[in-house]
Amino acid sequence: MKTMRTRYFLILNGLFFMLLMTIANPSKASDLSKAALIPKPVSVKALGGSFELSAGVVIRIAEGQPEMQKVAQYLANQLNPATGYNIAIATTGDMPASNYILLEISNANNQLGQEGYELTVTKDNVRLSAGTPEGIFRGIQTIRQLLPANIESSQPQKGPWKIGTGTIVDYPSYTYRGSMLDVARHFFSADDVKRYIDLITAYKMNVLHLHLGDDQGWRIEIKSWPALTEIGGSTQVGGGKGGFYTQEVYKDLVQYAADRFITIIPEIDMPGHTNAALASIPELNPDNKPTKLYTGTNVGFSTLQTNKEFTYQFLNDVIRELTALTPGPYIHVGGDESHVTKKEDYIPFIERVQEIVLANGKLMIGWDETTLSALKPSTVAQYWSKAENATRGVSKGVKIIMSPAAKAYLDMKYHPKTQLGLHWAGYIEVDTGYKWDPATLVPGIAKENILGIECPLWSETVTNIKEIESLLFPRLPGYAEIGWTDAKSRNWEEYKIRLGYQAERFKVMDINYYPSAKVPWKSVK
Ligand code: ACM
């Protein structure tokens, strides 16, 4: 009798264990509540069944919505290569009973805001609704992650392509969720920047900040000052040939980002970090003699002449041309580490530049040092270094972008033994990068003072996209989650499990990630 009971117990235990294995494995399960989504959604209600994306599936949109046509095409383009289907996009007129994905603009749920979405999956179909095409687009990123990782393949793969049934309601915690790429220290091609855009898109970020000018290079064509790129664009850190984006190429990048509901924010750093401009345009210098091009990695040695009218005429030309290339509201003017600009010159310089940006119809962003100046309430300060600079900004009524170097700088090494990156702000392992809350990090800066978060990647040590990826991944999904998911719903111990399940997705997407020992990586195959 006793033996029978033990055997019964063991069998039951075994069955329970097998069940646990199934539900803990998101790519095989159809339980929506076990989906390892990053960023974590606001609410997930699972019903336990599954929808199977099968041949003949149709994407449906309402008639007369050209912007939705593009979004629907984006979804089809994401699904076609791996499924081998050629998914049709149709209007909602004659809705079939099953096997469709409906993308629906609806104001029924006013919680969703500009970027939220509601996803309802039944065994017959998928309905993704949002108040805006942007919300639909963010929801499409969720659909990608609900499907098996192989959906990211560019070659036909074996299905089945199942999604668990239930409902997800989701919207972001912060409106600004970005990453910065420094294309000045090393130059990266437009194709590399598109790859970067695709990678941040997958985690629902909405801003790409491009650092376009520094001591080592000027990377954007300014038609009124061609020497900037002819001379200033001709090199980079280490003395390589550098490069720059023509305005045509840059416009294409802006459109590529806009098609993914990502705003490109251009930055020209000033008055420091300007050697490439000083080497290109003699009149920017006190003696009208150009400086030498610079290919080292020191900071803080260059400055524009704050007392020369020529400087402001030049800056007005630059900002006017950048404005014409920029559909988004912001121009970033840097303002960091101007160590050889006297404070009494720096303060009025930033105020004058702010006037120029506003007169050109844009709003200004500056690094945290710019809060020394009188700032308009529409200006935004980006906290990277000194908490006192950021809190001064708050006391002046400006909003803050949170990019604390010791937590959010993607160019910091993970660990003393990792090759790429620097470590002046410390080592940022994956858990260190994740375990902080923008709204409690700095006393005096509360959620209502914060526009959002940004993780910058400075490029002193990286020279190609694969090196970039190794610093971006696996930290980037964590920064995306900090921006999207409310702090109360975030917890490293739970997050690291979801991150572990991303490994196969990284593999299929050919992402060169750092396999941190902090993460329980799962091979789902
Ligand atoms: C900075 O890292 N100098 C903004």
Distance from C-alpha of 34 to C-alpha of 24, rounded to nearest angstrom: 7
CA of 368 to the centre of ligand 1 (A): 9
Is 273 part of any domain? yes
Q: Quick: pLDDT tens for 105-127.
A: 999 999 999 999 999 999 999 99
Q: Which residue, of 155, 170, 185, is where some domain finishes?
A: 170
Tokens of 261: 């509901």
- Protein residue closest via CA to atom 2 of ligand 1: 384
pLDDT band at residue 129 using 50, 70 and 90 as cut-offs: very high
Atom of ligand 1 nearest to the CA of 409: 2
Residue 102 above 70 pLDDT?
yes
The burial class, CB within 10 Å (0-12 / 13-18 / 19+), for 395 is: exposed
Question: Is the same domain home to 297 and 355?
Answer: yes
Question: Is the same domain home to 382 and 324?
Answer: yes
- Can you give the pLDDT at residue 209? 99
- Can you give the pLDDT at residue 19? 41
Question: Is the same domain home to 226 and 135?
Answer: no
Examine the residue annotation and report whether 337 is marked as an active-site residue of this protein. Answer: yes
Read off the CATH number of the domain in which 282 is found. 3.20.20.80
- The phi-psi region of residue 234 (left if phi > 0; otherwise alpha if psi is between -120 and 50; otherwise beta) is alpha
| Total domain count, the chain | 2
Pocket of ligand 1 (CB under 6 A): 336-337, 367, 384
Q: Quick: pLDDT tens for 1-42.
A: 445 555 555 555 554 444 444 434 444 447 898 899 999 999
Question: Is the same domain home to 487 and 370?
Answer: yes
SS3 string, 280-328, reads: HCHHHCCCCCCCCCCCCCCCCCCCCCCCCHHHHHHHHHHHHHHHHCCCC
Q: Which residue, of 170, 198, 228, is where some domain finishes?
A: 170
CA of 429 to the centre of ligand 1 (A): 20
Question: Is the same domain home to 107 and 211?
Answer: no
Question: Is the same domain home to 268 and 416?
Answer: yes
DSSP 257: H
- Protein residue closest via CA to atom 3 of ligand 1: 336
**Quick check: 506 and 474 in contact, CB under 8 A?**
yes
Structural domain of 261? 176-508
Q: Quick: pLDDT tens for 403-425.
A: 999 999 999 999 999 999 999 99
- Can you give the pLDDT at residue 523? 73
Is 521 part of any domain? no
Question: Is the same domain home to 273 and 323?
Answer: yes
Phi, psi of 330 (to 5 degrees): -115, 145
Question: Is the same domain home to 185 and 334?
Answer: yes
Question: Is the same domain home to 141 and 184?
Answer: no
Is 515 part of any domain? no
Distance from C-alpha of 293 to C-alpha of 281, rounded to nearest angstrom: 12
Tokens of 33: 């509540």
Query: Which of helix, strand or coil describes residue 452?
Result: strand
Read off the CATH number of the domain in which 115 is found. 3.30.379.10
Atom of ligand 1 nearest to the CA of 299: 3
Question: Is the same domain home to 279 and 344?
Answer: yes
